[in-house]
Amino acid sequence: MGEAVDFWRVLEVEVPHRLVLLSEMRAPGEALLEFQISAIGEQRSELQLISRFMPRGLSGFIYWYVFYPFHQWVFSGMLKSIAKHTGKSLEQGPERFTPKLHDSCALPTSES
C-alpha cells in the first residue's frame, strides 16, 4: 500500500482478490480504479474493473461526461489485454455495468 503504479497510488490490497488505486492525475475530481477477482468454480474466475469518479464542481461533471466514451473504450481494452497477458480466453464480456439508484437517493415527486 502507498506505492506508485504509473500515475496511480495503491490505496488497498487484499491479495489475491482486490486492488484499489487512486489517480494522481490532475483532474477536476477524484478517480478510483478497483480490480476484484472472484473464483467461479474450479477452473474459472471473474475479473471486475470498477471505475469511480467523484467530480469537483461543474467542471468535474463536464469532464466525466466528455471523457465517458473514451474511458469505456480504455477500460474494455484493459480487461481484454489482462486476459491476453494471462494466457486465458474470455468466455464473455467485458460487459458494462451501471448500478441502479436506490430509492433513498431519488428525489420525491409531487403528486397532483
**pLDDT reported for residue 27:** 92
Sign of the four-CA dihedral 98, 100, 104, 108: positive
Q: Which residues contact 63 (CB under 8 A, 6 or more apart)?
A: 27, 28, 29, 55
Q: How confident is the model at residue 83 (pLDDT cuts 50, 70, 90)?
A: confident
DSSP H/E element including 20:
strand 18-23
pLDDT per position as a tens digit, 19-67: 999 999 999 999 999 999 999 888 888 888 888 899 999 999 999 889 8
Residue 66: enclosing H or E segment and its boundaries? helix 57-86
pTM of the model: 0.75
- Does the pLDDT value for residue 12 go beyond 90? yes
| Residue 112 clears pLDDT 60, i.e. is over it | no
| pLDDT over 60 (residue 77) | yes
Q: Write out the three cell numbers for 50.
A: 470498477
